[in-house]
């Protein structure tokens, strides 16, 4: 099979999708300015978001200068940096830089720069490292036996559980769930036999159903167990999800008001910059920014945003399937898992379909570390697409 040429074109469809999401994010933050500017920490959020998007665009340009295969060569280094940063936060070191927000030790605060959240970058580091682990294993053991598949599963779970453990200690439930979703998504395409995967999925699903059933039957015992293990925030969010009326001033406070904002938007919304709930929802510019969009532009505006997200995931799947390099396909698959779960979780918690986890809406919510992480992930995907090779006698 002879090589025809290399695809040296940019994926303009993906770039346009990111530009649309950036415009929606900046415009929404701009309309929220009268509410945000009342807090000195939140002033001119839309300008700060523009800066982060510019920094992210520069990161994409740098990433595309290098072959994506270079990431495999430094995968251990990136993974190690991520783990070390999480360990430093775990021990609150250094004390003058490690920063706590709302009870969670998840940030480094640098004078003149702001806060950096290592857990966000760990998502990309884990994607790259797990892709390397999968490729190295399949190269060493080309025959997929049950024993070798289980060994690959153990390795992937082990390397994923290390950052999950430290992020859980911060505590950051949302970060734990995203890393779990990334790992699960990559396991699906790892080549592990489906009977093994289905057995694990069945076990996990059974455990979740059993937990929920036991909680509904014995909420006091479960809550006490979670309290004893310093998981008070999980109790609050779980109670707010299952019993919103009973905990309307606690765990369900923001969710109920987010749903009121979404419902008040009706079909066409109240109009740009028109809010009634902005002063009653503390995280309207981050976790609950979907509610701000729905309140302004209603069902139609929300549907357009969801459609754009659908096109984003569709484009990522297309690139993952088009790539002939396993390492590239695995990395793009991890990115798909990261975005898909966060989009579903964020919108789901806004409409009380899922418990609150504090996850931002990708590319829309304000956040320096998160926005930069998403742009780096897109840079990796664009690098993969840029270097996809086509062949004269390709079967496709």
**Chunked mean pLDDT (size 10), the chain, 396 residues:** 52 95 95 82 87 95 91 95 95 86 82 84 97 95 89 96 94 91 94 91 90 80 72 70 68 78 87 74 83 92 96 96 94 97 93 85 92 96 86 52
> For residue 313, what pLDDT is reported?
97
Buried b (16+ CB within 10 A) or exposed e, 39-72: eeebeebbebbbebbeebbebbeebbeeebeebb
pTM listed for this prediction: 0.91
3-class secondary-structure state, position 272: coil
Sign of CA dihedral 388, 337, 156, 117: positive
Q: What is the DSSP string of 202-255?
A: HHHHHHHHHHHHHHHH-HHHHHHHHHHTT-HHHHHHHHHHH-TTTTTTTTTHHH
Extents of the domains making up the chain = 3-391
> For residue 254, what pLDDT is reported?
78
How far is the C-alpha of 161 from the C-alpha of 176, rounded, in Å? 9
Contact 361, 342 (CB under 8 A): yes
> For residue 229, what pLDDT is reported?
67
Collect all residues with Cβ–Cβ distance below 8 Å to 272 and sequence separation of at least 6.
27, 31, 296, 297
| Burial status of residue 313 (CB atoms within 10 A of its CB: 0-12, 13-18, 19 or more) | middle
> For residue 138, what pLDDT is reported?
93
Strands in 48-103 per DSSP E: 98-101
Closest CA to 20 of 362, 384, 383: 362
Task: Bin 246: left if φ > 0, else alpha if -120 < ψ < 50, else beta.
Answer: alpha
Closest CA to 17 of 324, 319, 396: 319
> For residue 23, what pLDDT is reported?
97
């Amino acid at each position: 099979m002879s090589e025809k040429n290399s695809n040296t074109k940019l994926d303009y469809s993906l770039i346009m999708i990111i530009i649309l999401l950036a415009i929606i994010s900046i415009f929404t933050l701009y309309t929220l300015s009268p509410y945000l500017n009342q807090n000195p920490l939140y002033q001119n959020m839309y300008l700060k978001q523009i800066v982060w998007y510019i920094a992210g665009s520069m990161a994409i340009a740098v990433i595309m200068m290098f072959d994506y295969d270079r990431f495999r060569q430094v995968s251990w280094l990136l993974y190690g940096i991520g783990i070390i940063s999480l360990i430093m936060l775990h021990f609150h070191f250094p004390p003058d830089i490690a920063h706590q927000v709302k009870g969670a030790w998840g940030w480094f605060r640098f004078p003149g720069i702001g806060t950096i959240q290592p857990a966000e970058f760990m998502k990309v580091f884990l994607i790259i490292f797990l892709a390397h682990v999968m490729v190295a294993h399949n190269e060493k053991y080309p025959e997929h036996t049950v024993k070798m598949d289980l060994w690959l599963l153990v390795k992937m779970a082990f390397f994923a559980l290390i950052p999950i453990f430290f992020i859980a200690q911060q505590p950051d439930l949302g970060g734990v769930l995203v890393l779990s979703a990334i790992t699960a998504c990559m396991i699906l395409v790892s080549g592990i036999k489906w009977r093994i995967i289905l057995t694990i999925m069945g076990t996990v699903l059974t455990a979740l159903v059993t937990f929920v059933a036991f909680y509904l039957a014995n909420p006091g015992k479960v809550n006490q167990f979670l309290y004893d293990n310093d998981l008070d925030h999980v109790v609050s969010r779980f109670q707010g999800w299952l019993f919103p009326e009973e905990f309307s001033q606690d765990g369900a406070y923001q969710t109920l008001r987010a749903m009121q904002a979404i419902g008040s938007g009706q079909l066409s919304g109240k109009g740009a910059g028109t809010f009634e709930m902005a002063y009653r929802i503390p995280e309207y510019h981050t976790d609950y920014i979907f509610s701000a969009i729905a309140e302004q532009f209603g069902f139609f505006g929300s549907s357009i945003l969801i459609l754009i997200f659908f096109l984003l995931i569709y484009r990522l799947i297309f690139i993952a399937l088009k790539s002939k390099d396993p390492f590239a396909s695995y990395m793009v698959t991890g990115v798909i898992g990261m975005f898909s779960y966060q989009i579903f979780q964020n919108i789901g918690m806004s409409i009380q379909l899922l418990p609150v986890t504090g996850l931002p809406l990708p590319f829309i919510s304000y956040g320096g570390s998160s926005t930069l992480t998403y742009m780096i992930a897109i840079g990796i995907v664009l690098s993969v697409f840029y270097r996809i090779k086509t062949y004269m006698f390709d079967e496709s």
